[in-house]
Structure 1
């Protein structure tokens, strides 16, 4: 067979096809093997290199008996830094299924330093807290209710305008805290900041504050923390003349009685018609603190009720008359009565002694008379016996 004829046969084509198929198979297999080795190496490297660090601020949880104790002085949130595999850190960030807490269940009243604890973190994650320890103050818990007072600067209100009674979304507030702090609460106020020269009603949501006698805010919890206040403001056009009343304010000197008087009998009020219709008299407090003797004071008059813009006159003269109390003035009479009683008692004792002496003397006399009677009776009996004996003798003779 000629060579040229062999290359043109079907057997030759089949052989060549088989060779090329084998070559293509080995090439593809080699490429896949190389690619698999590279992927495995990349995965291994990424598991070692692709770590992620995350910093979060999370709420701090306290474990304690909230019905019995009140805890203060701790931070509301704690900074936590988490480092670890990318997938774990990402999952932690999305779920937030972990907790930072302080266990106070075994602690009593007082100030304590406590180490924070964690839960819900994967073991492959590294966790760092800031701070790691906290200082807390544990005290006996107390809850009380207080009325809410609205405070505002009436000087911000436009001339010839006055504010009415403030309307609030809530009249009382519940205070919870350490018993020592709750006992010091004097008032709960809502400070309403009015704009300058205001002429119409003003409404705002105001933060509440619990204050002591000196006006210092106290570290207690309020529920609710805010209140909505609506302050009506109207034009003051009406006037009314009312009777003036003086009232004693503060305690005076012990043992003194105070009488207040003034030549001003009435005052004129200017305000809204609705406010004036509710007022019958105008009370003026006069302080008598430290007043030892009668004196005259100048007392300033100012609006003391909502809806009243002005009072006329602005000042009055008040006479304070000081006198001794009835208890002190009656001390001498009581003493003289006691002296008379003592004298009467002494005279009575003497009369009793004399009466007893007379009684004793009478008894002695009675006793002597009895003895004399007995002697006389005995003598008479003896004489009778002798007489009888003599008579018998004579008869015998």
Structure 2
């Protein structure tokens, strides 16, 4: 054994084995370190997707309008976590864009590009290409229109007035084919349940003739609108209605009232048919001396309110009484249609006598110009009608008229009259009746037609009958 240990070969072999073991140990440590470094590197790298990154287009905005471009894309970033965090939350400089600066009108498929991406990071957009369309740019000035929505939902009796808005015109910019299709630029105002004027600012929209919304730029984008909301009103005169008689020994010297007009509110369809209020009743039986009384103003059917609700009526009385008859007061025909002229049948001259009672001082200066009398033929059909004569005097004194009704004849329109005359022309060619064939109604004997006509005129002479009545 000692001999073996002293052998040079034995020592060399042992030394070689020791060296081999040492190399093996060192080599294994290097491999483990490399593995650990590789593992650390793979763990420190990360991938993050950012959704909805806005695309920035570059093109000549003075000449073109861009359409059909997707608003955003997704971007996948790969790199160390700390670099990703810095790029996305600190720097925020990464930009997604498309370059159209060298392209003209038309539809193009272009690559999606990125810039300001740190060198240590890898970036990839999705999708990598997008399709866009460039249009020739056009600007046009167009008037603004306002639409009122839910007018039927206004409170009962309320209506909209004349709409005021500003601006009246706007500039519209967009693709030439869109601009040429514009039919109107409109704004809509909702007036449902409104009881007072509506003041608002509403956006504008452009529409084609089919009512389709067009994607164009409107400058300014909105309009100021004022919509008056109110109940329709109408001012009408009052007419005093005298009730009862003054106590014995008194006569009416005059009646005056204030105000002489009131304001009604309500639906237009109702107000259009109201021209005066005649039911302001003054009870003379309660008047014993000069008095001023408050009288209620009646609310006509269909109207919603009257203002004022009362009027002051001043009644002047005197003990010195008398009466005066004013003859031949003309009766006015109101509501006459020019195509259907109206005329009086009775009284034939369209005049009547009026007797006014009151103090001698009050009636002394009265004449026909102080009397207002008329008949209303509005909406009457052609033919003969009996209508009421309305009469009043300037001093509101007690008044009696010779007649209370008039017979009115309304002619057919000219075209219908011409048609009705044609049969009369045909009768001219028919055989004429025998002049000797006229028969008396009482004894059946023949009578001369001229004599019959004379008698007929005698019976129908209104002047003679009136004279007899007066005598």
Q: TM-score, normalised by structure 2?
A: 0.39
**Bigger Rg, structure 1 or 2:** 1
Q: TM-score, normalised by structure 1?
A: 0.46
